[in-house]
Amino acid sequence: MARGRSAANMAAMDTTTVLAIGVNGEERAFDGPLSVAGLLERLGLDARKVAVERNKAIVRRAHYAETWLEPGDAVEIVHFIGGG
């Protein structure tokens, strides 16, 4: 999983908005604005290999690019696995 820079570091850099969200139950901070598609890209995840839930609702893959994350959002990323 890719590492987001911490909120403190981001503030010190005095750059764009810091977006603090929960990813898989962990608090993370990213440069905003950020869409679901952008988040997966930052995390190095292939969108075709995961399902994404934002605030307890599944986000359709077709909507990843236009679904913008907001501060405090809770995002869950579920890997597609099918072994038995």
CB closer to another protein out of 41 and 76: 76
> Is 41 near another protein (CB under 8 A)?
no
Residue 8 phi/psi, 5-degree rounding, is: -60, -45
80 lies in the site for another protein, by CB under 8 A: yes
Binding of another protein by 3 (CB under 8 A): no
Distance CA 82, CA 84 (A): 7
For 40, the token pair is 């997966």
Cβ neighbourhood burial of 79 (10 Å; 0-12, 13-18, 19+): exposed
DSSP tag of 58: E
Which of the ranges 7-15, 28-36, 55-63, 65-73 carries the binding residues for another protein, by CB under 8 A?
55-63
The residues of the shown chain that bind another protein, judged by CB under 8 A, are: 24-25, 46, 48-49, 51, 53, 56-58, 60-61, 76, 78-84
